[in-house]
Structure 1
Amino acid sequence: MNTIDTAIRAAAADIKLAGVAKAYDAQTVVIPPMDVQLKAGEFTVVLGPSGCGKSTLLQMIAGLERVSGGKIVIGDREVQDLEPKQRGCAMVFQNYALYPHMTVLENMAYSLKVAGLSKVERAERVEAVATMLGLSDYLHRRPGQLSGGQRQRVAIGRAIVREPGVLLFDEPLSNLDAQLRHDMRVELAELHRRIGATTIFVTHDQVEAMTLADRILILNRGRIEQFDTPKAIYHHPASVFVAKFIGAPPMNILPVTGDGSALRLADGQVVAEASLTGNYQLGIRPEDIVASGHGAGRLCKAMLRFREDLGSHSVLAAELAGLVVRIATPFGVDTADLVELSLNFPPSRLHLFDAQTGRAIAGAFGA
């Protein structure tokens, strides 16, 4: 661990948002009042669809967007009225925002020069960060001479060379191809383990969220749907929105009606035993449905409509009670000759949601 690592780890701070809101007028409320606390040294991913307010939230923390109400506390300081340079944050943007006429070294050292550090100290910091990020051989090149992944590493290096306690990432991998995104996810995870900065990473990509986050904050129209670990969010979604947003393919959601002893689909088939009455939404992940008809739980008849062979597994699209459900079958399960499927829904894998609010109902199946 070098001096950069030590300084960033020591500067890592809690972030507390108390009633933080953003509205441009009475009709345009981007983020209603929000209360949330991020732990020092934690990697938090803010996840949600386009337009849900995740980038606005990040920019309010950075100071690039004014809050309409509430307090932002970083460490023991209220910062909502401070300029960005006074907040102890560093930001990495989607478009890299590098100076094209400057070399990698000059780009990374520029903020240190503005801050008044000596040439010797600037060189020492840049050299340490360049070594950390594998950029030592590129210090005298300009951004136009680098690949997309290298430019992104320069943008990250320019941020951490300032020794910030808080690192903010605004969809930094969206301009990279699939392989580079994978490689950069690994590098970012390793970097976070090394420097320990409090990190907030905005994305709409659930794979980035699931693989990078200590905790995921899921936003829907500016409101927090769920804030928990990736494992908890995947296995215990708090709402239909979360259940359908996380997972590829996403969770199947089926409208069901309880008659006091069982939950029935629209065509009358019983999908689960439960002493419930009224209308609900039933969820089950594609990999939890058994297409062979074996195992505990009720069997439902469905017609196969389409099969996707993805090598490691297959995804079947089947018609059930007038809806399309997707079933993920593991490698080695032969479904090639199946037309009519007998679907098994294990009770321990079922999720129940309120029909009106979409919120999860705990303990419906004894879980």
Structure 2
Amino acid sequence: MTAIDTAIRAAAADIELMGVTKAYDVRTVVIPPLDVALRPGEFTVVLGPSGCGKSTLLQMIAGLERVSGGKIVIGGREVQDLEPKHRGCAMVFQNYALYPHMTVAENMAYSLKVAGVSKTERAERVADVARMLGLADFLARKPGQLSGGQRQRVAIGRAIIREPGVLLFDEPLSNLDAQLRHDMRVELADLHRRIGATSVFVTHDQVEAMTLADRILILNKGRIEQFDTPKAIYHRPASVFVAKFIGAPPMNVLTVTGDGSALRLADGQVVGNYEGKGSFQLGIRPEDITVNAGGAIKAAIRYREDLGSHEILEADVAGQQLRISTPFGAEIDAAATLSLSFPQARLHLFDGETGRAIPNAFHNADAVRRSVKEYQ
């Protein structure tokens, strides 16, 4: 472990947002009052669709946007009224924001130069960070001579060279192609394990969230839909919004009616047993649906996608769309009517009006724990 690693791990700070709001005017409220606590050394991914307020939230932590109300506490210190340079944060941007006329070494060392750090110490820190990020052979090059992935590593190096208590990432991989995004995810995960910084990473890409995060904070119109581990969010979504947002393809959500003993589709087919009455939304993951001759639920195939390792079927069930993931080698007649089974232990029930999950709708607590344990 280098001196940089040790310094950043020691500096890792907790972040607490208490009643934080952002509004540009009375009608434009981007972030309603929001409360959340991020642990020191944790990698938190803020996930949500475009316009949900995730970048605004990050910029308020960084000090690039002023809060309209509430407190931001970093490492036990209120910072909402401090300038960005006094908050102990470093930020990595989507567009790299490198100085094109400076070399890699000069870009990484610039903030230290401004802070009055000696030339000898700057050189030592640049060398340490360059080795850490695989940039030792590129220190004399300028950004225009680097690939997109290399430029992003320089931007990360420029951030961590300051030994910050908090690292902030604003969609840093969105400008990279698919292979580079994968490679950078691996590098970021490895970097986090090494330095243990408190990291907040904003993205709209669920793959980045699921693979990088210790916990994922899902935003919807500035409000927190769920804040939990990737496994919990995938297997126990707190709302229809989360269920549909996470997963590729996402969870199927069907409108059903409870008659006091069963949940039925519009054509009367029973899809689950439940004692409640009224309108509900029933969720099931595409991979949890079983296609077999004895299945009681009937559906007609509309479209199929062969992805090599598995196949995705799009089917119609009682006028609603259903996606089914079938394993490699499964022989399914496209012209046939499908017979499906929905395993009760894999069903999710949501309130028909609010869209919030109804806990333990199909299982007692022990059954829920057993079901979740199967995924771990």
Q: TM-score, normalised by structure 1?
A: 0.98
Aligned to 2:143: 143
Count of matched residue positions in the alignment of Structure 1 and Structure 2: 364
Give the 5 Å matches for 1:135-214. Answer: 135-214=135-214
Answer whether contact 2:301 2:334 (CA < 8 A) is retained: no
Report whether the alignment pairs 1:280 with 2:280.
Answer: yes
SS of structure 2 residue aligned to 1:108: helix
SS of structure 1 residue aligned to 2:291: coil
- Percent identity between matched residues is 79
Q: CA deviation at 1:336?
A: 4.4
Report whether the alignment pairs 1:341 with 2:338.
Answer: yes
Give the 5 Å matches for 1:32-111. Answer: 32-111=32-111
SS of structure 2 residue aligned to 1:364: coil
Report whether the alignment pairs 1:300 with 2:304.
Answer: no
Query: d(CA) in 1 for partners of 2:296 and 2:48?
Result: 35
C-alpha deviations, 1:241-271, integer Å up to 9, x for none?
Answer: 0000000000000000011111000111111
Q: CA deviation at 1:312?
A: 0.8
SS of structure 1 residue aligned to 2:8: helix
Q: CA deviation at 1:18?
A: 0.5
Aligned to 1:250: 250
Aligned to 1:8: 8
Tell me which stretches of 4 or more aligned residues in structure 1 moved more than 4 Å: none
Q: CA deviation at 1:67?
A: 0.3
SS of structure 2 residue aligned to 1:244: helix
Query: d(CA) in 1 for partners of 2:349 and 2:68?
Result: 37
Q: CA deviation at 1:69?
A: 0.4
Query: d(CA) in 2 for partners of 1:138 and 1:339?
Result: 60
Aligned to 1:354: 351
Query: d(CA) in 2 for partners of 1:305 and 1:339?
Result: 11
Aligned to 1:216: 216
Answer whether contact 2:168 2:199 (CA < 8 A) is retained: yes
Is the deviation greater in 333-342 or in 348-357?
333-342
Aligned CA distance change for structure 1 residues 336 and 124 (closer, same or farther; 3 Å): farther
The AA in structure 2 aligned to 1:281 is Q
Query: d(CA) in 2 for partners of 1:338 and 1:86?
Result: 66
C-alpha deviations, 1:93-141, integer Å up to 9, x for none?
Answer: 0000000011101100000000000110000000000000000010011
Runs (5+) with no aligned partner, structure 1: none
Aligned to 1:127: 127
Aligned to 1:327: 324
Answer whether contact 2:4 2:125 (CA < 8 A) is retained: yes
SS of structure 1 residue aligned to 2:140: coil
C-alpha deviations, 1:198-232, integer Å up to 9, x for none?
Answer: 00000000000000000000000000000000000
Aligned to 2:374: none
Answer whether contact 2:299 2:337 (CA < 8 A) is retained: yes
The AA in structure 2 aligned to 1:324 is Q
Q: CA deviation at 1:332?
A: 2.2
Query: d(CA) in 1 for partners of 2:59 and 2:344?
Result: 43
Report whether the alignment pairs 1:265 with 2:265.
Answer: yes
Q: CA deviation at 1:273?
A: 1.5
Runs (5+) with no aligned partner, structure 2: 369-376
Query: d(CA) in 2 for partners of 1:286 and 1:216?
Result: 22
Answer whether contact 2:234 2:243 (CA < 8 A) is retained: yes
The AA in structure 2 aligned to 1:352 is L
Alignment RMSD: 0.9
SS of structure 1 residue aligned to 2:106: helix
The AA in structure 2 aligned to 1:236 is R
The AA in structure 2 aligned to 1:8 is I
Q: TM-score, normalised by structure 2?
A: 0.96
The AA in structure 2 aligned to 1:44 is T
Q: CA deviation at 1:364?
A: 1.1
Aligned CA distance change for structure 1 residues 337 and 255 (closer, same or farther; 3 Å): closer
SS of structure 1 residue aligned to 2:362: coil
Q: CA deviation at 1:338?
A: 5.4
The AA in structure 2 aligned to 1:84 is P
Query: d(CA) in 1 for partners of 2:196 and 2:145?
Result: 31
The AA in structure 2 aligned to 1:83 is E
Q: CA deviation at 1:31?
A: 0.2
Q: CA deviation at 1:330?
A: 1.3
Query: d(CA) in 2 for partners of 1:217 and 1:243?
Result: 14
